[in-house]
Amino acid sequence: MEALILEPSLYTVKAILILDNDGDRLFAKYYDDTYPSVKEQKAFEKNIFNKTHRTDSEIALLEGLTVVYKSSIDLYFYVIGSSYENELMLMA
C-alpha cells in the first residue's frame, strides 16, 4: 500500500477556537469551508468541547480532523487541522 504524501502547504490550520469554561465561543476563525454556516460551526464547537473538556490529553481525532488543545484556568484553546496533519506542527 502506497503512503499518502501531501504537498507542503501554508494552509495546515483549518480553524482556531477559543471557548470559555461552558463551551461557548469567545473567538473562532475558520480558514476553509468545512463548516460553512454558523450553526454547523457552533455544533462542531459544542462537540469538541464535550469530548475534550474532561480529559488531560492534548490531542484528539474528531470528525476526521486533528484537534490540538490546551486549557488555561477557564479558557480552552483549540487548533484544528486535517487528519493527515502533524500534531507537533499544529501545536507550534
Q: Report the CATH number at residue 56.
A: 3.30.450.60
Is residue 47 a part of any domain in this protein?
yes
pLDDT for residue 1 is more than 50? no
Asked whether residue 8 is domain-assigned, the answer is no
> Which pLDDT value is given to residue 7?
62
User: Mean per-residue pLDDT for 19-30?
Assistant: 93
**What's the pLDDT tens digit per position in 53-71?**
888 788 888 888 889 999 8
> How many domains are there within the chain?
1
Position 1 in a domain: no
Which is nearest to 85 in space by CA: 11, 3, 31? 11
Using alpha carbons, list the distances in angstroms from residue 81 to 15, 22, 39.
7, 23, 20
Q: What is the pLDDT of residue 5?
A: 57
Residue 29 lies in a domain: yes
Give the pLDDT confidence score for residue 90 in this predicted structure: 79
The predicted model scores a pTM of 0.83
Residue 80 belongs to domain spanning: 13-91
Q: Is 18 buried (19+), middle (13-18) or exposed (0-12) by CB count in 10 A?
A: middle
